[in-house]
Amino acid sequence: MPDSVHVSTQFDEDLARLRTHVLHMGGLVETQIAASIEACISGEVDRVRAIVDTDRKINDLEKAIDDDCAHIIARRQPIASDLRLILGISKIVTDLERSGDEAKKIAKGVRRIHEAGTLPKQYGIGIRHLAEAALSMVHQALDAFARMDGALALNVIRADVEVDVEFKSIIRQLITHMMEDPRTITTSIDIMAIARAIERIGDHAKNISEQVVYVVDGRDIRYDKGAIK
Amino acid sequence: MQRALTYGVLTALVALSLGYFGEAWMGWVLFYIGLSVHLGMHYRNFSRLERWSRKPVLDASLEGDGEWDRVFRRLYRHEKELLEKIGQRERDFARLIAAVHAMNDGVVLLDGGFRIQFCNQAAERQLGLRSATDRGAPIVDRVRHPSFVDYLGKRDFSRRLVLRLERYFERVLAIELMAYAEDCWLLQVADITQTDRLDSMRRDFVANVSHELRTPLTVLSGFVETLQEMEVDAEARQRYVHIMGEQSQRMQSIVEDLLRLSSIESAPPPPDQPVDMARLIDKLHRDAEALSGGRHRIVLDSEGQGNLLGSESELVSALANLVSNAVRYTPSGGTITLIWRVSAAGAEFAVQDTGIGIEPEHIPRLTERFYRVDRGRSRSAGGTGLGLAIAKHCLSRHQATLEITSTPGAGSRFAANFPAGRVTGG
């Protein structure tokens, strides 16, 4: 840990292993999101099954990590930054798991859309932009956690606004589309669900970053707009 | 040593003689003072050495008296040699590190637990590492791609890992892990995005060629089978043979285009022979009218005098392709304008039509081999899918560029721009 030295190196190893597990889970979630977006744009419905299967692995990891956190608290009684790290991790894995769920939702939406027809071309670019922004938020949030970099975490939180703007513009586009031609409503609702899921992924990345700031600085900046600036 | 000994003996002798001839205590006092002076001198030198040893820098002021001076000088020389050696090593080391940083391939050095010990700039770029903060961190904390984590976990490094980071950086990386020294690992990262793209282009090309040839071949063999197995009357036979002729003609033109493309690719640069453009454009004009068969209005708009330097046959095949495309894709009643302009900046040959136009997303891919905007339409128009690829190739061999602008529904403009160096006075 950056600001304390332990007598017990075993404890250090436990913490390092815990961190690596969280990041491993993060890597899985990232690929899940990327794969679901890839399926959405290319229309390869075969990928959906693999995505749904991998989601189970993520769920198992979440349980295992939570279990480890409880064990460490019970056995080592961590204090100060170590305690913050453990508390932060147990919240971060929840957000990661939910991001994985959103990826699964995207994949299922893709299956629905492509069973009925194809993704209308004009949304491909918008979805891709939105997804790239959200994905880069997740990646940076995990980088910030890996490096314990509070400044990077704050950047991620600021980036969430862009994802929201992008999301709203897709929704506007969808509404106009639906008003012009009511036959597109079914597809539009599916696209909306996908866009919503991507936007939620951005929110989860933001939550992860908030936890990173908490672990690094000990500041709880949730629901506090002034702290971000 | 000798001097110190001489001084000691001399002091003793003087003190002894003073004690023998004068008072005994005077001898002792003298002896004592003499030894004290001696001791004081040693102590002064010793304190110099002591001061220096606390901060052993190259210091020329380290001078001693007598024997000490020699010792000090030897120390000084030794120190200087050491510093020189260290400096040399440091320069060597810095050069080595700079060389590793200059490499195109990423290099990461890992310890036995796969923790990052060192990474070069290429690896920072490729894997998103930061050497300033990532030292000592497990590499799987930074490169979290599941297939990479699995690769390290399996500990089977006999084959390299191909990592697709398409989503983040549109990159394909080949990763190899080698053991070196004792329980140390060298991770080598090569960016194979280009070769990967070439590979997939080659696969696509082979698949496309096979597909393009199979379509007419299927028709052909179907009719052959029919003729072999069924009794057909003369009229039907005539019709079948006609279709078979068309299809074999199609296959032939595909093969011809392929051969032309490959011969252009492997041919030496085009010669600098003047090509009579007035005659060439006149021929293109007549060919266009023949191909159109009176369905279009074909206009010639020529401005300026000048000829091109290059290979006539290549220029003809490039420009004729542009013209015949315009004729094929312009509905009856449309207008096709052949434009030839020569100016100080170079020359331009353009074909402007009032045809169906092309959607913007297709334009960058038009010159790819076998790329078709609309498969059914272009085959019925008799294209091989290679025309624009050949045209672009021929033009680029003449340092010319092909510029395509189009408005869907309103028409397209295909312009070949030749640099001034390729233009000669007419």
In angstroms, the CA B236 to CA B229 distance is 14
CATH number of the domain at B195-266, please? 1.10.287.130
Tell me, yes or no, whether A22 lies in a domain: yes
* Digit-coded pLDDT (tens) for A63-73: 999 999 999 99
Tell me, yes or no, whether A2 lies in a domain: no
Q: How many domains does chain A have?
A: 1
CATH code (residue A58): 1.20.58.220
Pairing of strands B106-110, B411-419: unpaired
pLDDT at residue B426 tops 60: no
pLDDT attached to residue A214: 92
* Digit-coded pLDDT (tens) for B201-218: 888 888 888 888 888 888
* Digit-coded pLDDT (tens) for A96-131: 999 999 999 999 888 888 887 776 767 777 888 888
In angstroms, the CA B223 to CA A229 distance is 76
pLDDT attached to residue A202: 94
CATH topology of domain B274-424: Heat Shock Protein 90 (3.30.565)
pTM score above 0.90: no
pLDDT, average across residues B2-22: 83
pLDDT attached to residue B166: 57
* Interface contact flag, B167 A34, Cβ < 8 Å: yes
Give contacts of A143 with chain B, Cβ < 8 Å. 128, 142
* Interface contact flag, A146 B141, Cβ < 8 Å: yes
* CB count in 10 Å sphere of residue A122: 9
HSE-CB for B200 with a 13 A CA cutoff: 6
In angstroms, the CA B273 to CA B374 distance is 38
In angstroms, the CA B54 to CA A161 distance is 59
Question: Helix, strand, coil: what percent of chain B each, to 5?
Answer: 55, 20, 25
Chain B's closest residue to A54, CA to CA, is B146
* Interface contact flag, A20 B133, Cβ < 8 Å: no
Tell me, yes or no, whether A221 lies in a domain: yes
pLDDT attached to residue B375: 58
Tell me, yes or no, whether A4 lies in a domain: no
In angstroms, the CA B299 to CA B190 distance is 54
Residue A142: pLDDT band (50, 70, 90) is: very high
**Contact status, residue B124 vs residue B169, Cβ threshold 8 Å:** no
Write down the residue that tokens 């903060």 correspond to.
B133
Angle between helices A9-42 and B146-154 (to 10 degrees): 130
B369 three-class SS? coil
In angstroms, the CA B153 to CA B148 distance is 8
Give contacts of A31 with chain B, Cβ < 8 Å. 145-146
CA end-to-end span of chain B, whole Å? 102
Mean predicted lDDT score pLDDT of chain B: 85
Cα-flanking dihedrals φ and ψ of residue B419, to 5°? -70, 160
pLDDT attached to residue A3: 44
pLDDT, average across residues B269-295: 86
Lowest mean pLDDT among A46-60, A161-175, B200-214: B200-214
In angstroms, the CA B419 to CA B310 distance is 12
In angstroms, the CA A212 to CA A155 distance is 12
In angstroms, the CA B183 to CA B145 distance is 24
In angstroms, the CA A217 to CA B313 distance is 73
Residue A93: pLDDT band (50, 70, 90) is: very high
Tell me which residue range forms the domain holding A13: 9-227
Chain A's closest residue to B129, CA to CA, is A143
pLDDT at residue B94 tops 90: yes
CATH topology of domain B103-191: Beta-Lactamase (3.30.450)
pLDDT attached to residue B92: 95
- Nearest beta carbon to residue A31 from set B134, B141, B145: B145
pLDDT attached to residue B376: 59
| Token pair in block for residue B51 | 């001061």
| Token pair in block for residue A93 | 């894995």
What length is written for chain B? 426
Give contacts of A135 with chain B, Cβ < 8 Å. 167-168
pLDDT at residue A4 tops 90: no
